Structure 1
Amino acid sequence: MTTRTANAQTAPQTPALPLSWLGVLALLTAVAPLSIDMYLPAFPAMAAEFGTSASAIQFTLTSFMVGLASGQLIIGPLSDRFGRR
Structure 2
Amino acid sequence: MERAERAERAKRTEKEHASKHVDIESKRFFFDVKENHKGKYLRITELSGGRSCIVIPLGGITLFKERLMEVIEEAEKLIDAPPSF
Give me the TM-score of the superposition, normalised by structure 1. 0.35
Which structure has more relative contact order (CA 8 Å, sep 6+)? It is 2
> TM-score when scaled to structure 2?
0.35
Q: Which structure's residues are more often helix, by fraction?
A: 1
Based on CA coordinates, which of the two structures has the bigger radius of gyration? 1
